[in-house]
């Protein structure tokens, strides 16, 4: 490839997957841990990015790292990608008026569903609502996931959040429970289990209501915070509705953390080779050709209708 990619948070769980994916594709890497380049030290961040052609931020909580890394990338004049799943951090990043190409939430949560919904829309320019259901076999969260969740809850003062009538809305209502018909079978899910998708999808698609759902087994595992011992399997089922017509796309695979690596690295590769649509901050579906991007991930997940 001839390109050098800085990886911030390279010693973390997802960071190690990203490094391996970069090296497999022939990129040179500049690994950086937070201890060496703290997010509140602009000069240290500038040194960490010196000589890099792009940067991938894998270090949460992204409420702390996202904007400082984006600012450092802008000073360096290089593309920026992060794997943030924190809703407010994603919203902050998308509101940043960057002059470099930058993609937030380029990961399992946020980026993948955004690509699937964008592909499902096909020729539609708007829809009434979008639904994103996560059929995870379980969820043993990493320490970084737990820390990011704590940060998000603190930012919301313990409230929950949903996307309704074209805006993020905070509330304290209990989440609904229901059964979801995944292609692999029916599973109980927790409704309004809001993930980064409620920011990425409406950032560029005319959909006033976006709802996420999580399999009950995964929600329970996240709540218990058990030590991660084995990867989960997953099915992501997205549905968009306009009037009485519904369109659907799915993706199945294994290990929600590992699959974030090819998502982020494919994004960087496209940014460095001119295969993108926006110079500035944009989510995956706005930045890239969704169908082509998903096809490029065929070795890591299986997509369908």
Q: Tell me: cis bond preceding 140? Omega within 30 of 0 counts.
A: no
**C-alpha to C-alpha distance for 118 and 264, rounded to whole angstroms:** 17
pLDDT number for residue 28: 98
pLDDT number for residue 37: 73
Confidence of residue 205 (pLDDT cuts 50, 70, 90): very high
3-state secondary structure labels for all residues of 107-170:
CHHHHHHHHHHHHHHCCCCECCEEEEEEEECCCCCCHHHHHHHHHHHHHCCCCEEEEECCEEEE
**C-alpha to C-alpha distance for 43 and 207, rounded to whole angstroms:** 41
Q: What is the pLDDT of residues 33-92, one digit of tens each?
A: 766 678 889 999 999 999 999 999 999 999 999 999 999 999 999 999 999 999 999 999
Q: In the structure encoding, which two tokens stand for residue 79, read together?
A: 């593309």
Asked if 142 contacts 9 with a C-beta cutoff of 8 angstroms, the reply is no
**C-alpha to C-alpha distance for 9 and 18, rounded to whole angstroms:** 10
Enumerate domains of the chain plus CATH numbers.
4-107+258-298 (3.40.50.720), 109-254 (3.30.360.10)
Q: What is the pLDDT of residues 212-249, one digit of tens each?
A: 999 999 999 999 998 899 999 999 999 999 999 999 99
Q: In the structure encoding, which two tokens stand for residue 10, read together?
A: 């390279």
Q: What is the pLDDT of residues 152-189, one digit of tens each?
A: 999 999 999 999 999 999 999 999 999 999 999 999 99
pLDDT number for residue 38: 84
Give the distance between the most distant pair of CA atoms in the chain: 55
């Amino acid at each position: 490839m001839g390109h050098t990619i800085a990886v911030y948070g390279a010693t973390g769980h997802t960071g190690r997957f990203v490094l391996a994916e970069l090296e497999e594709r022939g990129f040179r890497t500049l690994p950086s841990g937070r201890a060496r380049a703290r997010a509140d030290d602009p000069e240290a961040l500038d040194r960490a990015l010196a000589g890099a052609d792009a940067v991938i931020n894998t270090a949460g909580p992204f409420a702390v790292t996202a904007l400082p890394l984006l600012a450092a990338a802008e000073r360096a004049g290089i593309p920026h990608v992060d794997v943030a799943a924190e809703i407010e951090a994603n919203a902050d990043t998308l509101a940043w008026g960057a002059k470099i190409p930058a993609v937030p939430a380029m990961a399992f949560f946020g980026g993948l569903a955004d690509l699937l919904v964008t592909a499902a829309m096909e020729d539609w320019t708007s829809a009434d609502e979008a639904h994103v259901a996560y059929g995870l076999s379980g969820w043993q969260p990493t320490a970084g996931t737990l820390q990011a969740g704590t940060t998000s809850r603190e930012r919301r003062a313990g409230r929950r959040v949903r996307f309704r009538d074209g805006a993020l809305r905070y509330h304290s209502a209990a989440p609904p429970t229901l059964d979801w018909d995944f292609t692999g079978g029916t599973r109980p899910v927790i409704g309004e289990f809001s993930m980064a998708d409620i920011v990425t999808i409406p950032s560029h698609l005319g959909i006033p209501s976006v709802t996420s759902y999580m399999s009950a087994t995964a929600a329970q595992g996240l709540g218990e915070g058990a030590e991660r011992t084995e990867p989960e399997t997953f099915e992501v089922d997205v549905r968009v509705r306009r009037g009485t017509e519904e369109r659907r796309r799915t993706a199945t695979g294994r290990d929600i953390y590992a699959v974030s690596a090819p998502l982020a690295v494919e994004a960087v590769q496209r940014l460095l080779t001119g295969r993108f649509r926006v110079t500035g901050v944009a989510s995956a579906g706005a930045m890239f050709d969704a169908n082509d991007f998903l096809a490029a991930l065929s070795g890591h997940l299986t997509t369908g209708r």
